[in-house]
C-alpha cells in the first residue's frame, strides 16, 4: 500500500542509481540486452573531474572523437626542484572530455538503447512484504517533492564515491579511504602563453602542492582544469591551487567554476550483498592508485555489473553477482597493485619525487608508461625494458643514480 502523496511501486528488472560513466554504461548494456532498466540520477551538478580519458576507453565504449574537447599529445612532469621532463606520446594521445557533455551523452545513449531515465535523488533501500528491493527516491523539489518507490529485481549502486547504496546495503560499503581532489576551471590563456600548452598535460610532483598525490593543469579547449589531490587532513587544496596558478601566471585567467570531490583509493572487498544489490565504479572504490584515473575503470565496472546482472536475472542465482568483481580484478587488479606500490614509494617525500620525475626522462619508462595508459594492459612484450626499469628504479630508490 502506498501512503497519500506517494506513487504506487512500478517494477523494473534493474534500477541503476547514478548516471555517471559507470551507471550510464551499465544501464546502456542492460537495456541493449532487452532488460527493463530505470536509470536514476539526481542531476544538477557537473561531476568535478580532470576529464582525461585513454584511447582504449574510446575504442571499448564507442566514444566518438567529437566528444573530445582537446587531445593532449604529451605530458610535462615537474619535480620539486622545478625540473621539467617532457613525455611525448608516440602515435597516441590523452583525450579530454567535459563531464557535463560526456555524461549527458552516455545517459542519452542508454535511453536510446531503451533505458528509462528519471531525475531523482536516491534516499533509501527498502523491502516490500515479499522481501523484494524497493528503491525510494525523491522526485522534484520543495513543496512539489514526492517520494517515489520502485520495485527492482536488482539494484546497481553507481552513485559515486561515498555511495549511499553501498552504505545502506553492503558490509563495509561507503567507508573507503579517499583522496580529496579539488580543481578550478579557468578560461584557457591564448596561444604562446608560457606555462600552458593546449596540447599538453602538466603534472606537478611537489610536496608544497600536494604532500601525497599531485597537482595538474589539463587543457580542455577553451578552458583548462587546474587541480590537486591529497588525503592529508588539514592540507589546503585551495591554497595549493592559488599557489600553482600564481607560479604559472594562470592567476590572471578568469575562474569559471571551483569544485571538489573525493576519489576512492581502494576497491571494496565486496561489491554485492549476496542477494540483489551490486556496486559499480567509484561506489565500488575502483580508481587507479597513483594516477586517480577513474572514468575508464568506472565504465569497465559498469559493463561487468551489467554482465553479472544479466546472468543473475536469467538464473536467479545471487552468486553470479560476485563475477563482476572477480572479472574486473582479474583484468585490472595487477595494474592497481603496481600503481599502489608506485604511489607508496614515489609520493613520499620531495627527494623521492625528484627521483621519480628524473626517471620519467628514461625512454623505456616513457614507452611503457604510455603503452600501459593508452591500452590498459601491462606490457608483456618487452621483458628487457622491464628489467632495465626495475634496475633503474632500485638505483634511484637506493640513491645510487647520479642526479
Ligand atoms: C577533481 C577530480 C578529478 C578527476 N580527474 C580524473 C581524470 O582526469 N580522469 C579520470 O579518468 N578520472 C578522474 N577522476 C575520477 C573520476 O571522476 C571518477 O572515477 C568517475 O567519475 C567515476 O564514475 P562513476 O560513474 O563511478 O561515479 P560518478 O561520476 O561520481 O557518478 C555518480 C553519479 O551518481 C549520481 N548520484 C550520486 N548520488 C545520488 C543519489 N543519491 N541519487 C541519485 N543519483 C545520485 C551523481 O549525480 C552522478 O551522476 C577525477 C575525480 C576528481 C574528483
Q: Is residue 65 part of a domain?
A: no
- List, as own/partner pairs, every contact residues 2-9 make where C-beta atoms lie below 8 angstroms and the sequence separation is at least 24, other chains included: 2/149, 5/146, 5/147, 6/146, 6/147, 6/148, 6/149, 7/146, 7/148, 7/149, 8/149, 9/128, 9/134, 9/149, 9/150, 9/151
Q: Which among 206, 239, 264 is the end of a domain?
A: 264
Mutation to probe ligand 1, out of 298, 304, 336 (largest number of atoms < 8 A from CB)? 298
**Ligand 1 within 6 A of CB of 263:** yes
Q: What is the pLDDT of residues 16-44, one digit of tens each?
A: 999 999 999 999 999 999 999 999 999 88
Question: Are 309 and 377 found together in one domain?
Answer: no
What's the rounded mean pLDDT across residues 259-284?
Answer: 96
377 or 276: whose pLDDT is higher? 276
The whole-number pLDDT of residue 43 equals 87
What's the rounded mean pLDDT across residues 192-207?
Answer: 94
Cα–ligand 1 centroid distance for 28 (angstroms): 17
**Ligand 1 within 6 A of CB of 95:** no
Q: In whole numbers, what is the pLDDT of the chain averaged over residues?
A: 92
Question: Are 37 and 147 found together in one domain?
Answer: yes
Q: How confident is the model at residue 381 (pLDDT cuts 50, 70, 90)?
A: low
The whole-number pLDDT of residue 389 equals 63
Dist. CA 325–CA 369, nearest whole Å: 25
Helices assigned H by DSSP within 74-217: 99-112, 164-169
Domain that holds residue 367: 362-397
The whole-number pLDDT of residue 77 equals 97
Q: Is residue 378 part of a domain?
A: yes
Cα–ligand 1 centroid distance for 121 (angstroms): 15
Cβ neighbours of residue 285 closer than 8 Å, sequence gap 6 or more: 176, 264, 265, 266, 267, 268
**Ligand 1 within 6 A of CB of 267:** no
Q: Which among 243, 264, 285 is the end of a domain?
A: 264
Q: 3-class DSSP state for residue 118? A: strand
**Ligand 1 within 6 A of CB of 164:** yes
The whole-number pLDDT of residue 195 equals 83
The whole-number pLDDT of residue 1 equals 47
Q: Which among 207, 239, 264 is the end of a domain?
A: 264
Question: Are 246 and 161 found together in one domain?
Answer: no
- Residue 216: CATH number of its domain: 3.30.9.10
What's the rounded mean pLDDT across residues 324-352?
Answer: 93
Question: Are 326 and 392 found together in one domain?
Answer: no
Closest CA to ligand 1's atom 17? 49
What's the rounded mean pLDDT across residues 107-125?
Answer: 98
Question: Are 169 and 316 found together in one domain?
Answer: yes
Q: Is residue 282 part of a domain?
A: yes
Return the minimum-mean-pLDDT range out of 36-40, 140-144, 349-353: 140-144
**Ligand 1 within 6 A of CB of 18:** yes
- Report the DSSP pairing between strands 255-264 and 277-279: unpaired
The whole-number pLDDT of residue 36 equals 98
Mutation to probe ligand 1, out of 295, 300, 304, 374 (largest number of atoms < 8 A from CB)? 295
Q: Is residue 17 part of a domain?
A: yes
pLDDT at position 6 over 70: no
Q: What is the pLDDT of residues 242-251, one digit of tens each?
A: 999 999 999 9
Question: Are 301 and 199 found together in one domain?
Answer: no
Q: Is residue 374 part of a domain?
A: yes
- Residue 27: CATH number of its domain: 3.50.50.60
DSSP for 24-36, written as a single string: HHHHHHHHHTT--
DSSP for 212-245, written as a single string: SS-EEEEEETTEEEEEEEE--TT--HHHHHHHHH
Return the minimum-mean-pLDDT range out of 73-77, 224-228, 301-305, 369-373: 369-373
Cα–ligand 1 centroid distance for 107 (angstroms): 14
Q: Is residue 403 part of a domain?
A: no
Dist. CA 232–CA 338, nearest whole Å: 22
What's the rounded mean pLDDT across residues 47-63?
Answer: 97
What's the rounded mean pLDDT across residues 162-173?
Answer: 94
Question: Are 104 and 170 found together in one domain?
Answer: yes
pLDDT at position 402 over 50: no
Share of the chain above pLDDT 70, in %: 92
Q: What is the pLDDT of residues 363-379, one digit of tens each?
A: 988 998 898 899 887 65
Measured on CA atoms in the order 202, 230, 249, 225, is the torsion positive or negative? positive
pLDDT at position 388 over 90: no
What's the rounded mean pLDDT across residues 366-395?
Answer: 70
Return the minimum-mean-pLDDT range out of 99-108, 205-214, 331-340: 331-340
**Ligand 1 within 6 A of CB of 122:** yes
Question: Are 36 and 157 found together in one domain?
Answer: yes
Question: Are 41 and 185 found together in one domain?
Answer: no
**Ligand 1 within 6 A of CB of 293:** yes
Number of domains into which the chain is organized: 3
Determine what percent of the chain falls in helix, strand and coil, rounding each to the nearest 5.
Answer: 35, 25, 35
Q: Is residue 351 part of a domain?
A: no
Question: Are 166 and 123 found together in one domain?
Answer: yes
**Ligand 1 within 6 A of CB of 94:** no
Atom number of ligand 1 nearest to Cα 47: 29
Question: Are 121 and 242 found together in one domain?
Answer: no
Q: Is residue 349 part of a domain?
A: no
5 or 98: whose pLDDT is higher? 98
Question: Are 182 and 314 found together in one domain?
Answer: no
What's the rounded mean pLDDT across residues 60-88?
Answer: 97
Cα–ligand 1 centroid distance for 375 (angstroms): 22
pLDDT at position 165 over 70: yes
Mutation to probe ligand 1, out of 15, 24, 25, 41 (largest number of atoms < 8 A from CB)? 41
Share of the chain above pLDDT 90, in %: 81
Amino acid at each position: 500500500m502506498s501512503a497519500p502523496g506517494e506513487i504506487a511501486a512500478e517494477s523494473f528488472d534493474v534500477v541503476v542509481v547514478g548516471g555517471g560513466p559507470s551507471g550510464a554504461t551499465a544501464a546502456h548494456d542492460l537495456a541493449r540486452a532487452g532488460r527493463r532498466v530505470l536509470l536514476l540520477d539526481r542531476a544538477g551538478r557537473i561531476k568535478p573531474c580532470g576529464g582525461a580519458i585513454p584511447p582504449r576507453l574510446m575504442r571499448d565504449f564507442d566514444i566518438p572523437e567529437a566528444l573530445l574537447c582537446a587531445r593532449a599529445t604529451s605530458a610535462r612532469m615537474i619535480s620539486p626542484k622545478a625540473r621539467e621532463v617532457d613525455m611525448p606520446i608516440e602515435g597516441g594521445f590523452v583525450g579530454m572530455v567535459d563531464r557535463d557533455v560526456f555524461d549527458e551523452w552516455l545517459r542519452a545513449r542508454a535511453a536510446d538503447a531503451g533505458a528509462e531515465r528519471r531525475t531523482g535523488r536516491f534516499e533509501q533501500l527498502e523491502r516490500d512484504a515479499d522481501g523484494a528491493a524497493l528503491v525510494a527516491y525523491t522526485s522534484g523539489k520543495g513543496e512539489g517533492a514526492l517520494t517515489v518507490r520502485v520495485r527492482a529485481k536488482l539494484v546497481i549502486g553507481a552513485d559515486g564515491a561515498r555511495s549511499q547504496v553501498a552504505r545502506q546495503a553492503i558490509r563495509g560499503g561507503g567507508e573507503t579511504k579517499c583522496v580529496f581532489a579539488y580543481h578550478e576551471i579557468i578560461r584557457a590563456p591564448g596561444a604562446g602563453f608560457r606555462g600552458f600548452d593546449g596540447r599538453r598535460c602538466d603534472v606537478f610532483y611537489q610536496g608544497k602542492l600536494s604532500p601525497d598525490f599531485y597537482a595538474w593543469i589539463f587543457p580542455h579547449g577553451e578552458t583548462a582544469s587546474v587541480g590537486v589531490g591529497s588525503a592529508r587532513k588539514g592540507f589546503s587544496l585551495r591554497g595549493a591551487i592559488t599557489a600553482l596558478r600564481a607560479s604559472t601566471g594562470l592567476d590572471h585567467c578568469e575562474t569559471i567554476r571551483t569544485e571538489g570531490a573525493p576519489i576512492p583509493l581502494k576497491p571494496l572487498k565486496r561489491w554485492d550483498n549476496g542477494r540483489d544489490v551490486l556496486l559499480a565504479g567509484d561506489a565500488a572504490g575502483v580508481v587507479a592508485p597513483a594516477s586517480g584515473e577513474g572514468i575508464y575503470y568506472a565504465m569497465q565496472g559498469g559493463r561487468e555489473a551489467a554482465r553479472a546482472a544479466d546472468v543473475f536475472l536469467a538464473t536467479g542465482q545471487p552468486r553470479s553477482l560476485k563475477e563482476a568483481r572477480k572479472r574486473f580484478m582479474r583484468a585490472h587488479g595487477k595494474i592497481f597493485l603496481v600503481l599502489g606500490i608506485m604511489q607508496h614509494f614515489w609520493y613520499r617525500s620531495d627527494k623521492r619525487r625528484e627521483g621519480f620525475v628524473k626517471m620519467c626522462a628514461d625512454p623505456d619508462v616513457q614507452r611503457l608508461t604510455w603503452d600501459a595508459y593508452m591500452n590498459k594492459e601491462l606490457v608483456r612484450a618487452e621483458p628487457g625494458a622491464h628489467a632495465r626499469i626495475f634496475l633503474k628504479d632500485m638505483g634511484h630508490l637506493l640513491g645510487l643514480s647520479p642526479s
